[in-house]
Structure formats: structure tokens, C-alpha cells
Amino acid sequence: MDARLSEVKALVQQALDQAMAGLPAGDLRDAMAYAVTGGKRIRAFLVMESARLHGISDQAALPVAAAVEALHAYSLVHDDLPAMDDDDLRRGQPTVHVKWDEATAILAGDALQSLAFELLSADQIGDPAARIRLIAAFAQAVGAQGMVWGQALDIAAEAAAEPLDLGAITELQDGKTGALIRFAATAGPLIANADSGPLDQYAGALGLAFQIADDILDVTGNEDVTGKRVRKDDAAGKATFVSLLGLDQARARARSLVQQAEGGLSPYGENAGNLRELARFVIERDT
Amino acid sequence: MDARLSEVKALVQQALDQAMAGLPAGDLRDAMAYAVTGGKRIRAFLVMESARLHGISDQAALPVAAAVEALHAYSLVHDDLPAMDDDDLRRGQPTVHVKWDEATAILAGDALQSLAFELLSADQIGDPAARIRLIAAFAQAVGAQGMVWGQALDIAAEAAAEPLDLGAITELQDGKTGALIRFAATAGPLIANADSGPLDQYAGALGLAFQIADDILDVTGNEDVTGKRVRKDDAAGKATFVSLLGLDQARARARSLVQQAEGGLSPYGENAGNLRELARFVIERDT
């Protein structure tokens, strides 16, 4: 998996750099480029592996991987804004509104969302019908019934008198991080017009395990390693999988979700080794 | 033109309501619905007339018109934010961040952009290739080389020591309002895969005339009629077409642009009566 992840990282960075090369020079482009630099590229990896399992070439899948990372970067830039989570550190660096200003952060996020859709319209992905399938699914995953909906639930939870229960947190996570992860993992079947059920099962469980691992890292993590502020949720009195389940139960839940995720890979047999490894990595990472 | 504009207004509002009906209930959906209510719907009108001139049915063009209005609404919500233009009044009503809060305004804008792309993927528009042409052109028009670029220039101008000159203001306007207007006016040829040159000429001149008229209204307009704050640019010491040209010259320039715009309609003859009337309306409106 490590070799493939490194390869994907390099390819995606190149695709993003290329997509932004033609933009007018200035703070806006610089802030966009800054926002899409670094990160684990797990979502891009999901796209590329999901595509490979369906006989789609790296060349065809690459704009989709880049689109998913551009969208993810926009969501982080907007989430970090003072009116939202008010974070000053991301991937070990000052967040965009700290390095530039709020207006630039809002605009860079906005333009990264447009860029994501532009990337999904690229010829090299495949026939127009395949691209339309991707775009329709992507728009739903990232909008007011997907990612933005999850983020709105998160904001509302902060203002609420009562902390969320497990069902509400799961719904929130399913939107905020789950929807884009599910899109990424089903990009292959979407392009190939094949059954996306098994990879959707994989990604649903993976996304939830990923969020539980994030909550665990917020408690046990080291800021120097994670590159973002830790112990934030606890300080904010925010309900998390850890605050609701306790550390041991949260770990057990994450492990069981990884098994569920692996179940979704069974139709792909040996070929899905990288995705199997990713599922285990997600709960073992320290960053 | 008035009858057609009323018809377009009703159709577009219906399409937008329908597109949002399936979204989860809550502040996010309410704020999105609030943001897309009202407005002159000039962009939707451009889409519908441009489509009609190319033999595209209202039914097929409607999601495109709704997408353009959703995108326009998002741009207004974000432009009005305290970190941007800091406006408290829009279409005679409190802006979204005043009525709800900044987080909701950021998220509602974000989700309206996603919704715009979702609308452009709708089956009823036409074959997938036509939709991909629309989506690619739209993404470029609204992103970091189009609308968001113009907005970034506008923000930068506020911080600059020297007011902008005429060339810089024209570039700014061409991005901030021109790019989406050009997309709207060329939607018909894009769907029909026809030459978009004439309508692009029309829309380029129309967009510039529209902005000059807006600058004139900021000086001569009545807040009760325009539904937004006036005398803002002057108070902010901002360069506008009026501050650079004077009121009379600005009016003369707008009239000459309307003639240019009409030139772009000549291939369409009598059929383009509505668009001809719109060009004249744009510089005669008081709102």
C-alpha cells in the first residue's frame, strides 16, 4: 500500500498543480495551492484503487482523485474559519485565514469547489455519460444532503444545550466525512457503470472507523505528529465517539467497523489488498 | 419582455423549490431557500431566451436557469459576509448572516454552489455531452479565473493604496459579474453545440453595461427601491465607473455598450426582441 500511496500522492499533486497553473497569479491562486498541498491523500487513494478494481486506468481516474482532494481542501479551509471551527493550525501549518485573511480563505474555498467540478468534466475520465454520473453523485455527496449537511449539524451541535447521542453523531459523521469518502470509494463503479454496493459498504464502515480514530487521536494524539490542534473537542465539551463510548469501547467499535469494511471487499478478492490494508491503517495511524 | 420575464421568474422559483424540497429540513435549507428567493432573475431570463433562440425547450433549459440563479445567490451570500463586503441588506431583506449567522451563511453559499452543479447534471437538459459542455464552461465561469477571481480583485482593490483605473475595473467586472452573465447568455448555443460568438458579444457588452448601471444606481438610487444599501462605494472611497468617468460619461458609455450588445443579436433578427429589450432595460432600471 505504501508504494501505491506514494505514487498516488505524486500523481495527484501534479494534477492539481497543472489544473491551477493556468489561473491568474495572486493571493487567490496561492491560497488555493497552499490549501491543496500535503495531507494523507486517503480520498485520492480510494478513487485510484476503486478505479483500478474496475479496469479504469490511472490516467482516467486521476482528475477524479484530484477533484476529491480539491473538494476536501475547500471543506477544510471553510471549516477552519473563525465563524466555523476557528482553527489556526492544519497539517502543521497556519490555516489559510491565518496566513492570508478571512476573505481570501472564503474565496479560495469557493474556487476550489468550482475547480473540483471542472476536474470532473475532463475528457480523459471517459465518455460524457460516465462524467455526468460522477458529477451528479459528487454534487449530492458534497452538498446540503451530504458534506455541508454534516457540517451544519456539527455547528448546530455546538450551540445545543444537550450533547449529541450516538445516533446523532453517526448521522453527523456520515455527512461531514462519510459522504465524500463513499463517493471516492465508489468512483470506479460509477465510471464503469458497475454495481457500487460492495464498495459503498466498505466506504461506509471505513468512514465511520476513520472518524472514531480521529476522535481517539484528539484524546491520545500528539500535536507535533498530527499537525493539528488536539484535545479541542474535550475542551469544547463536544460529544465524540470517545466521550460517549469511552476509549476502549471506541477502539473496539473501530476494529469491528474495519471488519465490516473488509466484508465489502470480498467480491474483489486478492485484488483489493491495498484497500484492505488502508482499512487497517485508518485505525492504527497516529496522524 | 415583461410577460416572458414573469413566466421565467415563476418557472425558476418552482425549479429551485423543487430542487430543495428533498433536502433535510433545518436552518441550512431555510437559509438556502431564503437566499434564492426574489431577485430580478435576469440571468435566468438570459438562459431561457438564449435556449429558445437555439430551439431548446423551456423544459430542457430550466435546470440551467435554476443553476445560474443558485450560483448567483451563493455569490451574493458570500459577498455580503462581514469579511467581504459586510452588507446587512439585500433585496430589501436582512442578509443571510444577519438573519441567521456567519456559519450558516458560509454553509448555505457552499451548498448552493453544489446545488448549481447538481442542477446542471439533470437528464432533462439533453444528452450527456451537452451537459458536460455546460458544466465545463460553468465551472470556468464561476471559479478562480472567472467570478471568484473578480471578487478577489474587488477585495484586493479595497486594501490597495491607489484606486483602480478604468482597465482594472473593467477586468474586475468582467470576472465578478461578466463571467456568469456570459455563461447564461451562451447556454443555448452550448446545449445546441452551435456558435456562441454572437451571444458572447451581446453578453460581454450587456454585463459591462449592467455594472455601469449598478454604479450609477449606487449614486442616484433610492434604498427603498433598490432594496440594498446605496452610496456605499463612495463612502468606501472605491473607484467605480462613475467616479472615474463622471455620471454623464458613464451614462453615455452604458448607452454605447447597449448598442454593441444589440449588434451581437443581429444574426437572430426579430426573434431576439426580448434580449434586445433586456439590454435597454438594464440601463434604464431603477432597481
Provide the pLDDT confidence category of residue A150 given band limits of 50, 70 and 90. very high
Place of cell 473578480: B150
**CA B242 to the chain's CA centroid:** 21
Q: What is the predicted pLDDT for the residue at B283? A: 84
Place of cell 460529544: A239
pLDDT in tens, B106-164: 999 999 999 999 999 999 999 999 999 999 999 999 999 999 999 999 999 988 888 89
Segment A243-280, tens digit of pLDDT = 999 999 999 999 999 999 999 999 999 999 999 999 99
Yes or no, beta carbons of B136 and A121 under 8 Å apart: yes
Q: What is the mean pLDDT of chain B?
A: 94
| CA–CA distance, A262 with A27 (Å, rounded to integer) | 43
pLDDT at A287 over 90: no
Q: Across the A/B interface, how many CB contacts are shorter than 8 Å? A: 145
Q: State residue A64's pLDDT score.
A: 98
C-beta of residue B118 within 8 angstroms of C-beta of residue A139: yes
pLDDT at B234: 67
Query: A115–B144: do the CB atoms touch at under 8 Å?
Result: yes
pLDDT digit string, tens, across residues B227-272: 776 677 766 778 899 999 999 999 999 999 999 999 999 999 999 9
Question: Does the beta-carbon distance from B149 to A104 stay under 8 Å?
Answer: no
Q: Is A219:A231 a contact under the CB 8 Å cutoff? A: yes
| Lowest mean pLDDT, pick from A103-107, A283-287, B249-253 | A283-287
Spell A255-281 as b/e; 16+ CB within 10 A means b: eebbebbbebbeebeeebebbbebbeb
For residues B163-174, one letter each, b for 16 or more C-beta atoms within 10 angstroms of the residue's C-beta and e for the rest, the string is: ebeeebbebbbb
pLDDT 10s digits, A180-230: 999 999 999 999 999 999 999 999 999 999 999 989 998 887 777 767 766
Please check whether residue A146 is in contact with residue A179, taking contact to mean a CB–CB distance below 8 angstroms. yes
Residues of A in contact with B127 (CB under 8 A): 128
pLDDT (tens digit, 9 = 90+) per residue, A34-76? 999 999 999 999 999 999 999 999 999 999 999 999 999 999 9
C-alpha to C-alpha distance for B183 and B276, rounded to whole angstroms: 18
Residues of A in contact with B83 (CB under 8 A): 101-103, 106
Average pLDDT for A163-178? 94
Evaluate if residue B203 carries a pLDDT over 70.
Answer: yes
Q: Residue A234: pLDDT above 70? A: no
Q: What's the pLDDT score for residue B22?
A: 94
**What is the structure's pLDDT at B238?**
80
Please judge whether A144 and B22 are an interchain contact, meaning their C-beta atoms are less than 8 angstroms apart: no
Burial of A235 (0-12, 13-18, 19+ CB in 10 A): exposed
Residue type at position B104: T
Instruction: Using an 8 Å CB-CB cutoff, list chain B residues near A135.
Output: 117, 120-121, 135
Please name which of A174, A177, A250 lies closest in space to residue A216, comparing C-alpha atoms. Answer: A250
Looking at beta carbons, which residues of chain B come within 8 Å of A28? Answer: 144, 148-149, 152
B115: which 3 cell numbers?
446545488
pLDDT for the residue A156: 92
DSSP B122-149: -GGG--HHHHHHHHHHHHHHHSTTTHHH
Residues 6+ away with beta carbon under 8 Å from B10: none
CA distance A234 to chain B (A): 21
Q: Which residues of A touch B152 (CB under 8 A)?
A: 26-28, 104, 107
CA distance B255 to chain A (A): 31
User: Do A135 and B128 lie within an 8 Å CB cutoff?
Assistant: no
B90 three-class SS:
strand
A115 grid coordinates: 475547480
**Which chain B residue has the Cα nearest residue A154?**
B103
Shortest Cα distance, chain A CAs vs residue B172, angstroms: 12
In the predicted model, is pLDDT for residue A235 greater than 70?
no
Residue B32, min C-alpha distance to chain A (Å): 9
Closest CA to B261 of B283, B286, B242: B283
Question: ipTM of the assembly?
Answer: 0.95
Give the list of residues 6+ apart from residue A225 with CB closer than 8 angstroms, or none.
Answer: A286, A287
Tell me which CATH code domain A2-284 carries. Answer: 1.10.600.10
What is the per-residue pLDDT across A108-142, written as a single tens digit (0 to 9) for each?
Answer: 999 999 999 999 999 999 999 999 999 999 999 99
Residue B100: Cβ within 10 Å count? 18
Task: Look at residue B200 in the predicted model and tell me its pLDDT.
Answer: 97
Res A160 pLDDT > 90? no
Determine the residue of chain B that is closest to A30 in CA distance: B144
